[in-house]
């Protein structure tokens, strides 16, 4: 396990743990951005350049901004701050710890000790080719899904009061 991977792993886990633990919601999303950037760096380390850069562009550049906009629009500045954790936080933490224990045991006893194969020379042209030949149906369905999600999100979040005037 290389030093680079260890540093990135520590950074990612720290960012995501802060994202789930901080009190202020905007701080949570900013820490999450650090976590996303760490995951993108791990993708780049695994020679998946296209996915890593897409991760930065989509998650850091769009999803995080969407989350902070939503937080800003649902904040009530004069109300008292509610508690950070819900009333059954202990159950949730135990469940999450249990899930991690099961997964870790499965990973460590699986004997997946494959050495890293040679670096795959993936060009973006190959990704484009396979998107257009082998994966064209998922691509088209994804376009349909994104259009439906776009229209749906606008309709749901629209202010309907103006129509009833």
Partner 1 sequence: MTPSLDQIFVVAKQTILGHVPAAAQPLASAVLSVIPILVIFPLLFAITTVLERKGLGRIQNRYGPNRTGPAGFFQPVADGIKSLTKEDIVPLSADQAVHFLAPVLLAAASFLGYAVLPIGRNMVIMNMNAGVLFFFAVGSVVELAVFMAGWSSRSKYSLLGAMRAIAQMISYEVPLVLASVVVIMQAGSLSTVAIVEKQAGYTGIFPHWFVFTPWGIVGFVLFMIAATAESNRSPFDLPEGESEIIAGYYIEYSGFKFALFFLGEYLGMFATSGMAITLFLGGWSAPFSFLQWIPSYVWFFAKLLALIAGFIWIRGTLPRLRMDQLMALAWEFILPTAILNMLVAGVWRFMPAGIVRWLVCAVILAVPCALLAQGLKKKKKFQVRTYQFAE
Partner 2 sequence: MSSLQGYLLLSALLFSIGLAGALTRRNAIIVLVGIELMLNSANLNFIAFWRFGPHPEHLTGIMFAIFSISVAAAEAAVGLGIILAAYRHSKTTDLDQMNSLKG
Tokens representing 39 are 């995951």
According to CB under 8 A, which one of 11, 34, 60, 71 is a site residue for partner 2? 71
Which 82-101 positions form the footprint of partner 1 (CB under 8 A)?
Answer: none
65 sits near partner 2 (criterion: CB under 8 A): no
Tokens representing 17 are 């743990």
Q: Collapsing DSSP states into helix, strand and coil, what is residue 134?
A: coil
Tokens representing 55 are 């991760």
| Partner from partner 1, partner 2, none binding residue 56, C-beta < 5-8 Å depending on class | partner 1
Q: 165: exposed, middle or buried (C-beta count within 10 Å: 0-12, 13-18, 19+)?
A: exposed
DSSP string, 28-74: HHHHHHHHHHHHHHHHHHTT-HHHHHHHIIIIIIIIHHHHHHHHHHT
| Partner from partner 1, partner 2, none binding residue 61, C-beta < 5-8 Å depending on class | partner 1
According to CB under 8 A, which one of 84, 123, 130, 134 is a site residue for partner 1? 123
150 sits near partner 1 (criterion: CB under 8 A): no
What does the binding site for partner 1 look like in residue numbers (CB under 8 A)? 26-27, 30, 33, 49-50, 53-54, 56-57, 60-62, 64-65, 68-69, 72, 122-125
């Amino acid at each position: 396990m290389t030093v680079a991977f260890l540093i990135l792993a520590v950074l990612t886990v720290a960012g995501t743990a802060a994202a789930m633990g901080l009190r202020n919601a905007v701080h949570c999303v900013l820490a999450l951005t650090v976590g996303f950037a760490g995951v993108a760096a791990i993708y780049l380390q695994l020679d998946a350049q296209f996915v890593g850069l897409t991760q930065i562009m989509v998650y850091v550049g769009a999803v995080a901004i969407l989350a902070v906009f939503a937080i800003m629009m649902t904040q009530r500045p004069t109300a008292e701050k509610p508690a950070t954790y819900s009333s059954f936080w202990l159950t949730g933490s135990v469940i999450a710890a249990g899930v991690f224990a099961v997964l870790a045991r499965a990973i460590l006893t699986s004997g997946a000790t494959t050495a890293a194969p040679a670096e795959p020379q993936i060009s973006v042209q190959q990704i484009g080719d396979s998107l257009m030949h082998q994966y064209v149906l998922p691509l088209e369905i994804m376009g349909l899904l994104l259009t439906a999600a776009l229209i749906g999100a606008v309709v749901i979040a629209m202010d309907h009061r103006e129509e009833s005037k």
